[in-house]
């Protein structure tokens, strides 16, 4: 039997369906966990959890089933008795974690690169599957991760719809400003992360705010809001991912 034929017959059609369903079930579980996290506006949301769970399921499938052909060797393509192929695979998983960690950056309360790091780990799992001869499983997992990345970037949810905004202003009537800010945040479904108020000798209050705002919010929008509040002076705005 040719190499391609032997790989395609490594599992039956029903067994492939079973493995596909396991990956899909893992994606669903990851989505459930990620949905809860993204509702709380956490940085690691639905997309990150789906990819991590998908990669973990893929790695488990590779670890459990990819070396079944070693029990019935048929030439060098199928290995020999007494080998331990899973040992090297385990080192790949632990080693790729350091590469993924290098993709994560923190700037204040904002974290970037989580999805990229999860994608790198998923890619490592796909590489293990293909290296073990599980071409169909590897291709299916590749399709799942790619579609997830595309759809979740196109239809963003939860924390992915938010960016960090830093506001600074001097106000002479802090209670009125606080009331207006509370109404503005509630109306636009924003979230105040930190607030710092410093009172000057002349009675002016200097307010420093860090907020999560909608991704389509502009500096002009924030400036217009603060200008609409009476007795606001020395406005400063900054937006960043």
Q: Is the dihedral of CA 150, 152, 154, 160 positive or negative?
A: negative
What DSSP designation does 75 have?
S
State the residue for tokens 């606080």.
178
Tens digit of pLDDT per residue, the chain (241 long)?
444 455 555 678 888 888 899 999 998 988 887 776 677 666 667 887 888 888 888 888 887 777 666 655 554 444 445 556 566 667 777 777 776 677 666 655 556 677 777 877 888 888 888 867 788 888 898 888 888 877 776 766 655 667 788 888 898 888 888 899 999 989 888 888 888 988 888 778 888 988 888 877 888 888 888 888 888 887 888 886 5
Q: Is pTM beyond 0.85 here?
A: no
Kindly report the three-state secondary structure assignment for every residue of 82-149: CCCHHHHHHHHHHHHHHHHHCCCEEECCEEECHHHHHHHHHHHHHHHHHHCCCHHHHHHHHHHHHHHH
Structural domains in the chain, CATH included, are 3-155 (no CATH), 160-240 (3.30.70.260)
């Amino acid at each position: 039997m040719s190499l391609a034929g032997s790989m395609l017959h490594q599992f039956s059609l029903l067994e492939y369906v079973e493995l596909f369903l396991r990956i899909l079930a893992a994606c669903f579980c990851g989505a459930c966990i990620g949905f809860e996290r993204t509702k709380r506006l956490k940085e690691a949301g639905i997309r990150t959890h789906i990819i991590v769970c998908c990669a973990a399921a893929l790695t488990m499938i590779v670890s459990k089933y990819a070396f079944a052909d070693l029990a019935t060797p048929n030439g060098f393509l199928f290995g020999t008795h007494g080998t331990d192929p899973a040992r090297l695979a385990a080192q790949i998983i632990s080693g790729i974690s350091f590469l993924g960690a290098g993709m994560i950056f923190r700037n204040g309360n904002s974290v970037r690169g989580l999805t990229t790091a999860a994608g790198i780990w998923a890619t490592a799992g796909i590489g293990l599957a293909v290296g073990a001869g599980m071409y169909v499983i590897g291709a299916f997992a590749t399709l799942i991760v790619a579609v997830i990345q595309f759809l979740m970037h196109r239809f963003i949810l939860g924390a992915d719809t938010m960016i960090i905004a830093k506001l600074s202003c001097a106000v002479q009537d802090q209670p009125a400003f606080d009331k207006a800010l509370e109404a503005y945040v509630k109306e636009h479904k924003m979230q105040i992360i930190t607030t710092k108020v410093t009172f000057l000798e002349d009675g002016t209050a200097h307010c420093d705010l860090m907020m999560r705002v909608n991704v389509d919010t502009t500096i002009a929008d924030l400036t217009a809001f603060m200008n609409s509040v009476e007795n606001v002076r020395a406005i400063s705005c900054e937006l960043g991912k």
